[in-house]
Structure 1
Amino acid sequence: MKIIFFTHSTFVLKIHDKYLLIDPFFSGNPVFDNKNFLKCIDDLLIRVDYILLTHAHYDHVCDVELFSQKFHGVLVISNYEISNYFEKKGIKTYGMNYGSFISFPFGKLKYVWANHSSVFNDGTYGGNAGGFLLHTNEGNLYISGDTSLMSEMNLIPIFGKLKLSVLPIGGRYTMDIEEAILASDFLKCKKILGVHYNTFEEIRINKDEAKKKFYEKGKELILLEMGESICI
């Protein structure tokens, strides 16, 4: 399993020959200017088969239509309300809710609780915010989405040992560093990919200090630069 990080909470999972794009946020992202976000997409994204959306906030869904036009046949996977929203725009979707694992060609996917809000920029209700628990023959991955620390995280490892957890660490709107460390305890997972930090001033962190705090607890915090990738 390969992870290619872009910015904020946006990254790609490559599982066998399938490419999963998570929470696309390029246009309107302050990391880019109006000219270079399309170049970044062209340079680093050769293909997208699926788009996974954790909730309806602009910084997680704003480029769904862009990618559905660029990569024909892409399937958007999210909760029922978000899926309906994009289906009305002519985009192929697969809606789910908190419940069972669903089998896809890349593995089994379960939509899980996140403690957050969810609404589109136009005011349309985006259903309950969530995350994804992904089980594959290459290992298991937890994508928390935007969330605070919550006791429900204790349930995640019951379904299977995690190779990696993707957690927000910027604070204010989500968990901060200290809460993400506690979350990793709940998840019984020592390898964390940090997301949702430094995109905006109000979620700025000290990266070296954050890594040190995880290390002191016997855990590894992975912070990737734009376009950088890891294999797990």
Structure 2
Amino acid sequence: MHITYYGHSCFLVDISGHKLLFDPFISANPNAEHIDIAEINPDFVLISHGHEDHLADAETILKQSGAKLISNFEIVSWYQHKGIDNSHAMNHGGCFDFPFGNLRYVNAVHSSTLPDGNSGGNPGGFVIESERGTFYYSGDTALHYDMKLLLEQYERIDWAALCIGDNFTMGAKDASRCARWLNVKNVLGLHYDTFPPIAIDREQTTRIFNSADIKLHLPEIGETIGLHAQYH
């Protein structure tokens, strides 16, 4: 799979020609000012929860691309009132087969309020299983024991996209523990450096993952990297 990182928790995954954009927060991120969102045309937009730093550009990108929105019931309903009908609502524990593969909406321990004060429902993450491999996106979350269940539900998880910035979410130590629970060797780090409370020391953070024999990927904003299936 090829992953393009757009800053904060926003990344695009290309799965056999299907482009999935997660948590689009780009134009309001000063670190991503060189990214032109008019050039981003995904097939699907996935939103983990209702905070503005995960959906600020979603309406614009959904309307310009015609992409299908995938999120929880409350967030999908909120966007339907904005005229976005190409959508699919889910809730925790549910799975659905999409053209790119099977998607499960899973628990996250966080909060979720939409920019206008409406409820964003319960926050979540996603597990996507496809012919190209299986990966887990944690969304914004604390470390929680439900993460261990994923290896009972899936034969393997090839890589994970995890929040690492601490303060509002897991920090590096908890994220590396999550990766050990999942038995993954490649982690895409998310939700760091955008705001002062989540600034990280990259060398120290990398050492934490290295000590657990896990490769932490911190691509530059706009960079595309490959993360592929690992075979145990």
Which bin holds the TM-score, normalised by the shorter protein? over 0.9
Matches within 5 A, 1:74-223: 74-91=67-84, 92-160=86-154, 161-223=156-218
For 1:81 and 1:201, the matched residues in 2 are separated by: 30
1:31 match? 31
The alpha carbon displacement at 1:121 in A equals 1.5
- The answer as to 2:84 corresponding to 1:61 is no
Judge conservation of contact 1:82–1:127 (CA < 8 Å) in 2: yes
1:22 match? 22
For 2:205 and 2:116, the matched residues in 1 are separated by: 35
For 2:175 and 2:98, the matched residues in 1 are separated by: 29
Identity %: 38
Judge conservation of contact 2:135–2:157 (CA < 8 Å) in 1: yes
TM-score (norm 2): 0.93
For 1:165 and 1:158, the matched residues in 2 are separated by: 16
| Letter in structure 2 aligned against 1:69 | K
For 2:3 and 2:80, the matched residues in 1 are separated by: 27
For 2:165 and 2:94, the matched residues in 1 are separated by: 30
Q: CA RMSD in A?
A: 1.2
The alpha carbon displacement at 1:69 in A equals 2.1
Judge conservation of contact 1:9–1:196 (CA < 8 Å) in 2: yes
The alpha carbon displacement at 1:185 in A equals 1.8
Judge conservation of contact 1:149–1:179 (CA < 8 Å) in 2: yes
| Unmatched 5+ stretches in structure 2 | none
- The CA deviation string for residues 157-186 of structure 1, in whole angstroms up to 9 with x for no partner, is 112201101100000000001111111122
For 2:157 and 2:82, the matched residues in 1 are separated by: 36
Secondary structure of 1:109's counterpart equals strand
- The answer as to 2:9 corresponding to 1:9 is yes
Distance 1:3 1:37, change over 3 A: closer
For 2:139 and 2:153, the matched residues in 1 are separated by: 18
For 2:112 and 2:94, the matched residues in 1 are separated by: 21
The alpha carbon displacement at 1:30 in A equals 2.4
2:221 match? 226
- The CA deviation string for residues 136-161 of structure 1, in whole angstroms up to 9 with x for no partner, is 01000000000000000001111220
The alpha carbon displacement at 1:202 in A equals 0.8
| Unmatched 5+ stretches in structure 1 | none
Judge conservation of contact 1:30–1:200 (CA < 8 Å) in 2: no
Runs of 4+ in 1 over 3 A off after TM superposition: none
For 1:190 and 1:200, the matched residues in 2 are separated by: 28
For 2:95 and 2:119, the matched residues in 1 are separated by: 24
| Letter in structure 2 aligned against 1:132 | F
The alpha carbon displacement at 1:37 in A equals 4.1
Q: Tell me how many residue pairs correspond in the alignment.
A: 225
Secondary structure of 1:157's counterpart equals helix
TM-score (norm 1): 0.93
Of 130-139 and 154-163, deviating more is 154-163
